[in-house]
Chain A
Amino acid sequence: MALDRYEWLGRLAGRIPDDALVMSTYIGAVSFEWAHHTEEHHRSAHLGQMGDVIGLALGLALALPHRKVVCLDGDGSVLMELGQLVAMGEQQPGNLVVFVVDNGVYESIGWSSQGRRPTATAGQVDLAAIAAGCGVPYTVDVTAEDELDAEMDLAFSRDVCSFINVRTRPGHSHVRPRRTDGIEDKYRFVRYVERLEGIWITGVPPQDIALMKGKEH
C-alpha cells in the first residue's frame, strides 16, 4: 500500500536531526510540501532539479563528512540520471540518506482524463534494487507507514549511506508554490552553512581582507 506524500514528509520533517542539512528538489510538490512542513528553514537547499538532486547531495555530504545530509528526490528525477547512483554506491558517504518520493508518475506536469503520465517505476523498475546493484550499502523499498517510521529512526541513528525508496500515492495537497528562485535559495543556504560550519564560501575571507589591507597598491 502506498503512502500519502504530504503526511510522510511531515513526519520526516519532525524527525530529522536539528543540525542536518537537506538537499531537496527545486520546484514541484515535494519541494513545496517540504518547505511548508519546515517553514522554509534555511537548512534546506531547494536547489536540485531533474537528474541532479542526488549528485548535489552527494557532493555536499562529501564536503561535510561530519554532517548528516538528507536528500529528497522524486522517482522521475532519479530515473533521469541513474549515473548518480553509481557515484553514490562508489563513494558511500555514511552521512548521506536519500529519500525518494516514488509515486510512479510525473506529478508536476499535470494530468488529463487519461490520468497521470507514468514513470518507469509504475512498471517493472525497482529503484532500491538499482541502488543496491550500484553498491549503496543500505537500500529499502518502503510500502507501509510503520515501516517508514522505523527506517527514518534507523537512518538518523547510524552512519550508513542509505537509499530509502518510499512508494507514495500520487496526488496534490494544494500547498502553495514557493516564491524564491535558485539565486535566493543558494545564498540563504550558503549563509546558513557558513554560520553552521564557521566557514567562508562566497566573497573574500576575513583573513584575506586583512592581508589586502596590509598590501601596498
Chain B
Amino acid sequence: MAMTAAALDAAHDGLRAAGIDFVSGLPDGWQRPLHERVELDPDIRYVPVCNEGVGFSICSGAWLGGKKPALIMENSGIRVASEYIARISLGTGVPVTLLCSYRGDVGETEHWGIPHGIVAEPLLQALRIKYLIVRHVEDLAKSIVRAKRIAEAQLHPAAVLVSGDCVWED
C-alpha cells in the first residue's frame, strides 16, 4: 500500500510550490513513491538517512546555509526525531517542514500502525508544532505550502499528516 498517484503528484507539486529545495527522509510504505520522485527532481537536494533524528539535524544545518528544507517520514519518525527537534528547535528555532504519513489514523489496516497514531498528535503538540491532517488529495499541495509558510514565520517546524483518500481508494 502506497500513496495514490494523485496524492503523489499533489505532494510533489506542494513541495515545489512551497519552494522546498532540500529534502531529507527515511522512506516508509506510504510515501515511498514520493521519496523516489523527489530523488529524481533536479531542483531538490535529496539526502536519505537511516534515522529521522539525523534527518532533522541535517535539515536544520541546511537551513542555516540558506536552504528551504523538508523532512519526509512516517509518523513513527516524529518520535525518533523528537529528541533533536527539542534540542535544536525548541532552543534555537529552525523552520523545517515535516511531511508525515499518518499511520494509525481512522481506516488503518495494520495493527503495528496503531501506536504510531496514538502518539503522533500529542507529541507534535508537546513539541509546539502546528499541523494539518490531510485526508483529501485536493487539500494536500496547499497544505504543504501553508505548513512551510508558518514554519518560516514562526521559525519552528510545522507538519502535514497524510492519510485518508491520499492512501486508500476504498
Q: Do A and B bind each other?
A: yes
Q: Judging by beta carbons under 8 Å apart, are A51 and B64 in contact? A: no
Q: Judging by beta carbons under 8 Å apart, are B47 and A62 in contact? A: yes
CB within 8 Å for A60 and B65 given contacts A47-B92, A52-B87, A182-B91 = yes
Interfacial residues of chain A within 35-67, with CB under 8 A of chain B in the complex? 45, 47, 49-52, 54-64, 67
Q: Judging by beta carbons under 8 Å apart, are A87 and B66 in contact? A: no
Query: A202 — which chain B residues lie within 8 A by C-beta?
Result: 152, 155
Q: B27 an interface residue at 8 Å Cβ cutoff? A: no
Q: A86 an interface residue at 8 Å Cβ cutoff? A: yes
Query: B94 — which chain A residues lie within 8 A by C-beta?
Result: 186
Q: Judging by beta carbons under 8 Å apart, are B87 and A50 in contact? A: yes
Q: Which of B55-63, B125-133, B140-148 contacts A (4 or more CB under 8 A)?
A: B55-63
CA distance A201 to B45 in the complex (A): 17
CB within 8 Å for A186 and B93 given contacts A52-B88, A59-B57 = yes
Query: B104 — which chain A residues lie within 8 A by C-beta?
Result: none
Residue of A with least CB distance to B69: A59
Which residue, of A49, A52, A189, A200, has the highest number of chain B Cβ atoms within 10 A? Answer: A52
Which residue, of B47, B50, B64, B87, has the highest number of chain A Cβ atoms within 10 A? Answer: B64
CB within 8 Å for A193 and B64 given contacts A55-B57, A86-B50 = yes
Residue of A with least CB distance to B45: A62
Interface size, chain B (Cβ < 8 Å): 33
From A64, A181, A183, A185, give the contact of B65 (CB < 8 A). A64
Q: A83 an interface residue at 8 Å Cβ cutoff? A: yes
Q: A90 an interface residue at 8 Å Cβ cutoff? A: yes
Interface size, chain A (Cβ < 8 Å): 41
Q: A31 an interface residue at 8 Å Cβ cutoff? A: no
Query: Closest CB-CB distance, B109 to chain A, in whole Å?
Result: 30
Q: Judging by beta carbons under 8 Å apart, are A56 and B48 in contact? A: no
Q: A190 an interface residue at 8 Å Cβ cutoff? A: yes
Q: Judging by beta carbons under 8 Å apart, are A84 and B61 in contact? A: no
CA distance A90 to B55 in the complex (A): 13
Q: Judging by beta carbons under 8 Å apart, are B54 and A56 in contact? A: no
Query: A200 — which chain B residues lie within 8 A by C-beta?
Result: 66
Query: B56 — which chain A residues lie within 8 A by C-beta?
Result: 52, 55
CA distance A91 to B54 in the complex (A): 13
Complex interface bits, A55-95 against B, C-beta within 8 A gives 1, otherwise 0: 11111111110010000000000000101101100110000
26 inter-chain pairs at a CB distance below 8 angstroms, sorted by A residue, are A47-B92, A49-B88, A51-B53, A52-B60, A52-B87, A55-B58, A56-B88, A58-B57, A59-B59, A59-B61, A59-B62, A59-B63, A59-B65, A60-B61, A62-B61, A63-B65, A67-B65, A81-B51, A84-B57, A183-B93, A186-B92, A186-B94, A189-B64, A193-B64, A193-B65, A194-B66
What is A's interface to B at a CB cutoff of 8 Å? 23, 26, 45, 47, 49-52, 54-64, 67, 81, 83-84, 86-87, 90-91, 181-183, 185-186, 189-190, 193-194, 197, 199-202
Contacts A52-B57, A84-B54, A87-B54 supplied; 16 other A-B pairs, CB < 8 Å:
A26-B91, A51-B87, A52-B88, A54-B57, A55-B56, A56-B57, A59-B47, A59-B58, A59-B67, A63-B61, A63-B65, A83-B49, A86-B50, A87-B47, A189-B64, A201-B64
What is B's interface to A at a CB cutoff of 8 Å? 22, 24, 45, 47-51, 53-54, 56-67, 69, 83-84, 87-88, 91-94, 152, 155
The 6 tightest CB contacts between A and B, nearest first, are: A59-B61, A55-B57, A63-B65, A182-B92, A56-B61, A59-B62
